[in-house]
A = this chain, B = another copy of it.
Amino acid sequence: MSQQKESPAAAVNTPAAATAIPSKYSSRVVLKTILESGGGLGLVGRRVVIGGWVKSSKEVKKDPVVPEPPPPPPPAPVDGVASQTGTRDVTCSEILQSRIPFIRSIIKILGGSNYSVREKLEPAAPRPPPPSLVFLQVSDGSCASTLLVVVDSSVAPPSQLLPTGTCIVAEGELTKSSLEGKHVIELKVEKIRHVGRVEYDKYPLSKKRLPLNQLRECPHFRPRTTTVASVMRIRSALTFAAHTFSQNQGFLCVQVPIITAADSEGFSEKFRVTTGFDNVGKEEPKFIDDTEGVSLEVVKSAIKEKSKIIEDLKRTDSNREALVAATKDLQKTTELASHLEAREKSKQKNWPKADDKASEEFFSSQTHLTVSGRLHLESFACSLGNVYAFGPRFRANKTESVKQVAEMWMVEMEMAFSQLEDAMNCSEDFFKFLCKWLLEKCSEDMKFVLKRMDRNSIERLQSIILNSASRISYTEALDALKKVADKKVERKLEWGAALTTEHLSFLADEIYKSPVIIYNYPKQVKPFYVRQNDDGRTVAAFDLVVPKIGTLISGSQNEERFNVLSTRIKEMGLAGEQYEWYLDLRRHGTVKHSGFSFGFDLMVLFATGLADVRDVIPFPRTYGKVSN
């Protein structure tokens, strides 16, 4: 091995010190292992190497009355990043002490000791700054607490360590804290092994708490804040909880495909997947003969109108049949506009042909990013029994929403030999399990959430664990809403209409003040695959609606009867050929089965009490620019 490895933590120990805390795959000790039990008091006297980023800092001059030790040797160079400009940042106090009268007077004129300038590093005038102690609150992201790290100015230049965001690797002894306050212990540093400095005029974070919307501008740095770090640890815990529940209950994990030709709903806007080097001239437009007299302007204004109708339909959580129809209609109109536009400009005969270009496509059929994994999962349920998937799902929905972005992670579960009620029971157990997991395995982060983000967070989780959701049919939900004389819920309350997000919120937030399961929806508001009930007008679908969050879970017993499903596909005008494989599952060895989709990102929102789903997703994807 040509590369030198730093000595591991164990090697730092002197015989007198207690055994070092073991650390794998690094020479540093993870802070969580130091801080997790009683703030680390039991570890006083141990020698460790730690690493982390400075969250806040202060420098305290050493008491001048106390006789000073002889001037220390200049600090040893540390394993850090060389300054890129040949300069180093110095604080005003350093400069004021430097006794260069000229610079001092300029600084005084500029007025303010918070001001700092760049000073050429020159071999001359190596007069050391006065001795001081630097107190750093250091986090390594493993837990919400910070370690207090104390560095004497003789060990490393304070100006290098003080800025928020600086990375340090430090070696020393854990002692009782010399400061009053939240810290029980501190690390008395004897050697700084590494400093990763900060260009503080460009660094987006600071000691101050920044609002979440401002943090969204720098997704690559925001987990360095205590809030986002806690959210991400909670997210990680929930990921493991989801797998643990599923595997403990005998569900098999299936990685359903992301690229797909299947459309699980027929009304979602989808992202297409393509490989052409450029898209010019790929599809030859099919010119429609009877459009000669149609004006492009008329068609364009029709597009605007139709887009508006679709937006309206979507806002109401959709009458889905109407939405499918409207979407198709818009698509046709848009195509017409393209053709008219193309014709105007190219005079038809000069349009480039598809030819060889088509062969550049990777897939010969049109593919897109999956909207839901449930259809694929069904095929595995109809052979393996109980299965689940956990992966990203995609909707190219341009409407702004604090509950939805383009790329979201879902947990989907599907069970053969089961019915609507089984799926409801399973989904509720799943939800309860995740809540319990957070209280048991994430207590430190949940306490942080309670203290700094949402006072009701823990109570809310406990309430889910202790109580079951009310279960009401769509018809009962409608009746309950009709009784309320409230303007918010007045609109469109005939039987058969979709419940809007306002309706759902009102039910969970105002009427029940707890999670509610609504089941047996009118068939026109649910996807084609949901099993039709015997009444001929409702289907075996359900939603679990949670206060403040909205629909966290959507589930259904899916249609297992070949004829009924096949008829429904035709009724809804869906492309039959595309669903042959799906119909196959009913053609051969069909069985009753049910399942659900669980909005994983919304669960993180529920746990943390945050309002915007973009704050709980590592790199959220929304309408507009993607910069990383």
Contacts and interface: CB of A to CB of B under 8 A. Distances in A.
A158 interface: no
A617 interface: yes
Contacts of A141: 252, 383-385, 416
A254 B282 contact: no
A220 interface: yes
Nearest to A256: B618
Interface string A273-286: 11111111111010
Residue in A54, A382, A533, A591 with the greatest tally of chain B CB atoms within 10 Å? A591
Contacts of A119: none
B221 A383 contact: yes
15 contacts: A2-B520, A3-B419, A26-B417, A26-B418, A81-B561, A81-B586, A142-B386, A196-B591, A232-B384, A255-B618, A258-B407, A272-B274, A272-B275, A276-B279, A364-B625
Interface string A8-35: 0000000000000000111110101000
A202 interface: yes
Residue in A285, A331, A346, A385 with the greatest tally of chain B CB atoms within 10 Å? A385
A224 interface: yes
A1 interface: yes
Given A362-B396, A392-B258, A421-B1, A589 B53 contact: yes
A447 interface: no
A618 B378 CA distance: 12
Nearest to A345: B352
A256 B619 contact: yes
Copies in the complex: 2
A250 B30 contact: yes
A530 interface: no
A235 B380 CA distance: 13
B250 A32 contact: yes
A165 interface: yes
Nearest 10 CB-CB pairs, A to B? A141-B384, A279-B279, A196-B590, A220-B379, A167-B589, A236-B252, A51-B417, A223-B383, A224-B383, A25-B422
Nearest to A249: B24
Contacts of A274: 271-272, 274, 279
Contacts of A257: 407, 618-619, 621
A535 interface: yes
A142 B364 contact: no
Interface stretch (A110-118, A146-154, A333-341): A333-341
Interface in A347-361: 347, 350-353, 355-357
Residue in A140, A196, A272 with the greatest tally of chain B CB atoms within 10 Å? A196
A365 B626 contact: yes
Interface stretch (A173-181, A259-267, A314-322): A259-267
A252 B231 CA distance: 11
A208 interface: no
A479 interface: no
A1 B581 contact: no
A198 interface: yes
Interface in A212-252: 218-221, 223-224, 229, 232-233, 235-236, 239-240, 243-244, 247, 249-250, 252
A425 interface: yes
Contacts of A420: 3
Given A335-B278, A383-B224, A628-B261, A406 B362 contact: yes
B407 A259 contact: yes
B239 A253 contact: yes
A623 interface: yes
Given A273-B369, A364-B624, A625-B363, A254 B232 contact: yes
A101 B204 CA distance: 92
Contact of A229 (B357, B384, B538): B384
Contact of A346 (B346, B384, B538): B346
A540 interface: yes
A219 B260 CA distance: 13
Contact of A271 (B275, B379, B398, B407): B275
A236 to B, nearest CB: 4
B253 A240 contact: yes
Contact of A342 (B244, B281, B589): B281
B277 A252 contact: no
Contacts of A592: 194
Nearest to A421: B5
Nearest to A262: B628
